[in-house]
């Protein structure tokens, strides 16, 4: 069961904000979306949720037995500020024909909202509003969730809880989740697959396995060895940055490279190895910044 977005283009006036974007969102999988402000993340999510309708390309949704196949929280959480949190949940539960009070209670408990659910929602802090928005997104037993920076304004404990809950929803309830955040460590923590976009285009698609065990390596060699080292790395298909005598590159398996360097009698004056994070991937995505 997959939502497929194919060759999505969207322009405002004459400027394209999305260019040839493709996405598969499977049930049971979390796809992270990262990019700068204005990269087109929210526009992409709004297209997926049916809020933006004039775009080029196609979105196909699988047949669902749910009353509400897709729940979402985009930009700010949306609710009626003059109603209490509970009244908002009851309203949307009826609208999306949820299974009544039982489901509402479960969501309130899962998102730890009991303490303030009876208060008028206009009095909520940003973190509370985010939880209410997330709770509304979960009503109607959706197959998919689309969440635009869902942990905005939450405290560190709250962020951990929410991220764990999202992982639980994907793994145990088989929800497909599309999540964006500027907190790259959050995205890395929960995502099975990460889409990096810039100026409306896909810059990189990263599978979670690419990050697991990936390392950022910096080696320092003598001046005379720079040429042969570059040649060995290039032959191994490795992109690198050269600064003075230091070559920096990403690699999962380091020993074959070190063996080749050793066989070529290249002496390493220094070597530094760091675990690769999404942050490094993100900032190195166009030759390194």
Partner 1 sequence: MQVSNVFRLEVKNILKNQWLYFSLIISVLLASALVYAIKFMQGPFTIKAISGFYGIGSTIALAIFCTKLYLDDLGSGTITLFFSSQKNRKNYLVGKLLAALLLGFLFGGVCSLVLLSSSAYLGWEIKLLEFIIEPILIYILFSIFYMLLFFLIGIFERNTNNLIIITIITVLAIPSVVERIKLEKASVIVREIINHVPIFFMVQGTKYLQLSSDKLIILSSLIVVLFMTCYYLIGKANY
Residues that bind partner 1 (CB under 8 A): 46, 49-54, 67-68, 70, 72, 74-76, 78-81, 91-92, 94-97, 136
> How much helix, strand and coil, in percent to the nearest 5, is found in the chain?
35, 30, 35
> Minimum distance between the CB of residue 142 and partner 1, rounded to whole angstroms?
10
Closest distance to partner 1 from the beta carbon of 54 (Å) = 6
Cβ proximity to partner 1, 92 vs 193, nearer residue: 92
Q: Are 103 and 93 in contact (CB under 8 A)?
A: yes
Q: Toward partner 1, which CB reaches closer, 67 or 202?
A: 67
Nearer to partner 1, 97 or 234 (CB): 97
Task: Please identify, using beta-carbon distances, which residue of 10 and 186 lies nearer to partner 1.
Answer: 10
Q: Which is nearer to partner 1, 111 or 247 (CB)?
A: 111
SS3 call for 7: strand
The span from the CA of 105 to the CA of 80, in Å, is 19
Q: Is 148 helix (H, G, I), strand (E, B) or coil?
A: strand
Closest approach, Cβ 94 to partner 1, in A, equals 6
Q: How far is the CB of 78 from partner 1 (least distance, A)?
A: 4
Q: Which CB, 78 or 167, lies closer to partner 1?
A: 78
Query: How are beta strands 176-180 and 30-34 bridged, if at all?
Result: parallel
What are the tokens at 173? 């309830």
Rg (CA), the chain: 23
For residue 136, how many other CB atoms are within 10 A of its CB? 24
Cα(272)–Cα(22) distance, rounded to whole angstroms? 37
Token pair recorded at residue 17: 């904000």
In whole angstroms, give the CA distance from residue 177 to residue 143.
Answer: 9
- Least distance in Å: CB of 20 to partner 1? 20
Distance set, CA 266 to CA 232, 260, 289 (Å): 11, 9, 28
Closest approach of Cβ 167 to partner 1, in Å? Answer: 25
Minimum CB distance to partner 1 smaller for 75 or for 209: 75
Closest distance between partner 1 and the C-beta of residue 66, in Å?
12
Comparing CB distances to partner 1, the nearer of 74 and 278 is 74
Can you read off the two tokens belonging to residue 184? 């790259």
Q: 68: helix, coil or strand?
A: coil
Sheet with 201-207, strands from edge to edge, namely 70-73, 144-148, 176-180, 30-34, 193-198, 201-207
Closest contact distance (angstroms) between CB of 151 and partner 1 is 19
């Amino acid at each position: 069961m997959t939502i497929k977005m194919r060759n999505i283009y969207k322009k405002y006036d004459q400027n394209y904000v999305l260019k040839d974007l493709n996405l598969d969102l499977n049930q049971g999988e979390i796809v992270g979306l990262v990019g700068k402000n204005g990269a087109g993340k929210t526009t992409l999510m709004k297209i997926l949720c049916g809020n933006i309708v004039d775009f080029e390309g196609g979105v196909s949704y699988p047949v669902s037995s749910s009353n509400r196949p897709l729940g979402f929280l985009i930009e700010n959480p949306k609710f009626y500020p003059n109603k209490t949190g509970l009244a908002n949940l009851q309203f949307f539960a009826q609208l999306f024909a949820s299974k009544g009070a039982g489901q509402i209670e479960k969501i309130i408990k899962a998102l730890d909202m009991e303490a303030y659910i009876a208060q008028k929602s206009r009095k909520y802090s940003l973190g509370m509003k985010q939880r209410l928005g997330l709770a509304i997104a979960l009503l109607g037993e959706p197959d998919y969730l689309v969440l635009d920076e869902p942990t905005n304004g939450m405290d560190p404990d709250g962020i951990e809880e929410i991220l764990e809950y999202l992982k639980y929803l994907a793994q145990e309830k088989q929800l497909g989740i599309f999540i964006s955040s500027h907190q790259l460590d959050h995205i890395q923590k929960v995502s099975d697959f990460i889409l990096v976009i810039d100026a409306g285009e896909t810059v990189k698609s990263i599978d979670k396995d690419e990050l697991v065990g990936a390392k950022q390596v910096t080696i320092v060699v003598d001046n005379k060895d720079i040429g042969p080292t570059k040649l060995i790395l290039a032959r191994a298909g490795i992109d690198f940055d050269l600064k003075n005598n230091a070559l920096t590159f990403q690699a999962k398996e380091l020993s074959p490279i070190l063996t080749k360097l050793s066989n070529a009698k290249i002496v390493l004056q220094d070597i530094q190895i760091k675990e690769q994070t999404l942050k490094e991937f993100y900032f190195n995505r166009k030759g390194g910044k």
